[in-house]
Amino acid sequence: MLIRIALLVLLSAALPARAILVDSDDQARFQRAPDDDPGWANVGFRAGTSAIYLGDGWVLTASHAGFGPVDFDGTVYEPVPSSRIQLTAPDDSEHKADLILFRLDPAPDLPRLELTDTGPREGTAVILVGFGSGRGAPVARGTLSGFRIDGQKKRRWGTNRMDPGREKVPGPNKSTTQTFGMSFLRGGSDHESQATVGDSGGAVFVKEPNGWHLAGVMLSVQNFPGQAPVEVLFGNATFAADLSLYAPQIERILEAN
């Protein structure tokens, strides 16, 4: 993994929602589903953050994004009271992960997503989908460079590649989540992208031999000390919950309910 002196920042809804900055001049292209669609319509807007519709009425998001209504393409779906379930660490049911499931009623008319059971592999191509702002003006900070955020909150997609290994990321209320990282590198992928503050709950998809699978839920970013929250710089990184570890737990919950 790229070595960097950085700060880990939750993609908190407490700050203005900004997300999926793509290093491309054609920003409009990334505001509609990609030609090879991994699950664009299943990513909804949740109070300044994102949430992912899994199927059978169930939504998955970051616990710090919160429980509540979710907007899918202009239709707002209300949560079922008392349906909130917080996931736990894969190896320790006493410790919480920064992930929650809850049900919507009525259920959106959307396809069910498949969850990956394959752990992160260095260099694996991924597509990120989330709500928020796009790329603004270029910025330079000494040897660092990147972009400002344009402030226009819209659903966008972009690409990246998995970094090697996993990292435990601390969250609110003493939660800890197993994640994989994706570094924001100049020329790192075809449409190199980086999540920013406000993108909690967004989706990371990976294409497997039998089609697209949901591989991660965006939780946090890694920024440089002193970096302004309205900037994205090359060398930053996005961290997403590694769903290969949480898929068995999620599937048990969905099957039981």
What residue ranges do the domains of the chain occupy?
7-37+115-244, 41-112+247-256
DSSP assignment, residue 245? H
User: Which residue from 22, 61, 11, 6 is spatially nearest to 191, judged by alpha carbons?
Assistant: 22
Q: How many CB atoms lie within 10 A of CB 47?
A: 17
Distances in Å between the Cα of 190 and the Cα atoms of 23, 105, 158 are 9, 38, 9
Tokens 């946090």, residue? 220
Report pTM: 0.91
Could you confirm whether domain 7-37+115-244 is CATH 1.10.10.10? no
Helices (H), the chain: 243-256
User: Which residue from 129, 123, 116 is spatially nearest to 211, judged by alpha carbons?
Assistant: 116
Q: How many CB atoms lie within 10 A of CB 32?
A: 12
- Structure confidence at residue 23 (pLDDT): 57
Task: Say yes or no: do domains 7-37+115-244 and 41-112+247-256 share a fold.
Answer: yes
| Residues of the chain under the 50 pLDDT cut | 1-7, 12-18
- Structure confidence at residue 230 (pLDDT): 86
- Structure confidence at residue 20 (pLDDT): 63
Q: What residues pair up with 115 in beta bridges, in sequence order?
A: 214
- Structure confidence at residue 22 (pLDDT): 63
- Structure confidence at residue 131 (pLDDT): 86
- Structure confidence at residue 198 (pLDDT): 66
DSSP assignment, residue 235? T
Cα Rg for the chain, rounded, in angstroms? Answer: 17
User: Which residue from 62, 22, 10 is spatially nearest to 189, judged by alpha carbons?
Assistant: 22
Reported as a single tens digit per residue, the pLDDT across 65-121 is: 999 999 999 999 999 999 999 999 998 778 999 999 999 999 999 999 999 999 999
* Fold adopted by 41-112+247-256: Thrombin, subunit H (2.40.10)
